[in-house]
Amino acid sequence: MNTIKVAGVKKPIPTSHILYVLGRGSYSEVYTDDGKHVLSSMNLKTIEEQSTELIRIHKATLVNREFIDQTTPPELLKKGNVALVTMRDGRLLSVARRRWEVLFALTEANG
């Protein structure tokens, strides 16, 4: 089981329970599938380096692709629309232009 050791949390968090991580400067907010979130003193890059399951979709956002419910269809992006992902908890997160092709390739590979 892949886990993330988060500064400020006693037990490592299993990656399979992390929905997404939002960067807040030198801090990060880790959101989990039980509806909780933890403010960590670790930056986003440090958390990203601990896991291959979390993917960066924006300079301030990591997501667990297992918790993505919906993405903006690629054909709409060619018309200049903003790419968004809807997470299982209902949160909408924007995807950087340079990252959406990688995101769609990964989500399509998972079915």
The pLDDT of residue 76 is above 90: no
The predicted-structure confidence for 41-62, as pLDDT tens digits, reads as follows: 889 999 899 888 899 999 999 9
What band does 70 get if pLDDT is binned at 50, 70 and 90?
Answer: confident
Q: What single letter denotes the amino acid at residue 2?
A: N
Please report which confidence band the pLDDT of residue 80 belongs to, taking 50, 70 and 90 as the band edges. Answer: low
End-to-end CA distance of the chain: 22
Say if residue 26's pLDDT is above 80. yes
**pLDDT (0 to 100) of residue 17:** 93
Tokens at 13, concatenated: 């968090």
What CATH number has the domain spanning 3-109?
A: 2.40.50.1020
> How far is C-alpha 38 from the chain's CA centre?
14
Q: What are the structural domain ranges in the chain?
A: 3-109
Section 23-51 average pLDDT: 91
